[in-house]
Amino acid sequence: MKPLRLEDILFSQGFGTRRVCAGLVQQGFVSVAGAVCDDPGEFFQPEGLTFTVQGVDWPFAERAYLMLHKPAGTECSQKPSTWPSIYTLLPAPLRTRPQKAAVQGVQAVGRLDQDTTGLLLLTDDGKFIHRMSSPKHHVPKVYEVTVKHEITPDLVERLLAGVVLDDDPKPVKAAACEAVSPLHLRLTLTEGKYHQVKRMVAAVGNRVEGLHRSAIGGLVLPEDLAPSQWRWLSVADLALMSASKA
């Protein structure tokens, strides 16, 4: 990448209009390599750059790739109807990153129901969203399912063989399924229909009491990432998501 002015770097990362970004610099709120920069027009090589805005370190990211531990009681919508939006859990620069599309900021890669917890990816890379969401790419998603009634071998076999949902005559089957305990089912899917896990479990005569997504591809939700917390995805994280195919 070619060098960019500091105010343009801040603008590209979602810190506001160019005038706002210039003001942040002029007021001494921005540091690079530990030194305060007060010239909005100073040039920096953005690739690999980490800058500080009001005491918070920010790595330059041409595209943002994040993981979020979605808590219960939140909606994966910019305009939630009942519950708080997951986007309120993110810092403002990630919510306002400029895009060519009408919607700004990072977007959720697929959605989880308001009562579902676990691993959620967010990005401003449209191609990545399509690759991770399209059933043609068979990216496995692993769900930890708590059910109301005891799990039987027949239930597991039926989910693996395929069940018919009311809006699709073609059977939908799990890529993998195992009973972890009498009331804990681990279910792997490679497509994402509306309320799919709940409807599949209902189709075999049981009921979902709790639902948590623990992995996408080879990427497992880190144990040290608490509900409502987020972090940047590393290059190794991105590789893990495409390494596992069902």
113 is catalytic: yes
- Bridge partners of 30, per DSSP, are 53
Choosing from 38, 57, 113, 224, the catalytic residue is 113
**What values do phi and psi take at 74, rounded to 5?**
-135, 150
Residues 6+ apart with CB under 8 A from 177: 156, 159, 160, 185, 186, 187, 188
Nearest CA to 10 out of 41, 128, 1, 125 is that of 41
What is the DSSP pairing of strand 208-216 with strand 117-123? parallel
User: Coil, strand, or helix at residue 16?
Assistant: coil
For residues 196 and 145, is the Cβ–Cβ distance under 8 A?
Answer: no
Q: Which residues are marked as active site?
A: 113
